[in-house]
Amino acid sequence: MKLKLAILDLYNGTKNKGMQCIKDIVNTYQDQIEWQVYDVRQEGALPDTSYDIYISSGGPGSPLNGEGVAGWDQKYSEWIDMIWTWNQSDANVKKHVFFICHSFQMACAHFKLGSIVPRKSMSFGTFPIHQTDEGKNELVFSGLENPFYAADFRRWQFIQSDEDRFEDIGASILALEKVRPHVELERAVMAVRFSDELVGVQFHPEADSEGMLEHFQGDELKQEIIKNHGRQKYASILRDLKMPGRIELTHNTVIPNFLKNAIELLHKELRLAA
């Protein structure tokens, strides 16, 4: 029997590469997983607990007051609570969740782990991600260098983490953004393990170099990036995307590690429950 996976689409209908990248990764496990997409923000659709694994996407706008069909954000919060409560029961086979970017910010806000605030300027491009001591032993990062590189596009950030709250729920910070010695601003949190089954990242591990190169070389987006960020930034993005040890390695590592671990643990639990 195949495991069931739900993809939560938080893009609110905006044009993106993220959803296709997530689907492409999940499809490499088609002999073990069947999956379905839920349009959370346009339709208010959310999966129930019949699924084993969940991947919640990035998306545009504020993670604190996002646009979409009325009430979707409250339903999303209730869905997180539902999964969390389910996993607290020793009698249940656990549910595994991976949060990406916008979803990550919403989860951090939901668990009251710190401050979710606008950035002084938008993070746009490919950047080094630095693992914390906990991150160095994190399974989803296994196979990556420290730092590793990832696609990072965001106007919001998670800062001022609440250590007491982290301890209360058993969460840990796995990664921080690039070191900026010339900027007197706190480094944003880039990855959190909320529990043994729930993990999230601020960046876009689903991004693949080939698809992003094609996306960024389109004339409309190229001109927009040059206008807003300059030719030097545009050139640096293309250069990083062409380096095999950067974005492509992260693409081939983070979500696949999450899925392989979830599949292995679920099969063990299902055998014990049989």
Nearest to 116, CA basis, from 83, 78, 155: 155
Those residues of the chain that have pLDDT short of 70 are 180-185
Q: What is the pTM of this model?
A: 0.93
> Angle formed by the axes of helices 72-88 and 102-110, to 10°?
70
Residue 182 has what pLDDT?
61
Residues 83, 85, 91: CA angle, nearest 5 degrees: 100
Residue 88 has what pLDDT?
94
Q: Which residues contact 132 (CB under 8 A, 6 or more apart)?
A: 172, 173, 174, 175, 176
How far is 135 from 13, CA to CA, in rounded Å? Answer: 33
Whose structure tokens read 């196979």? 143
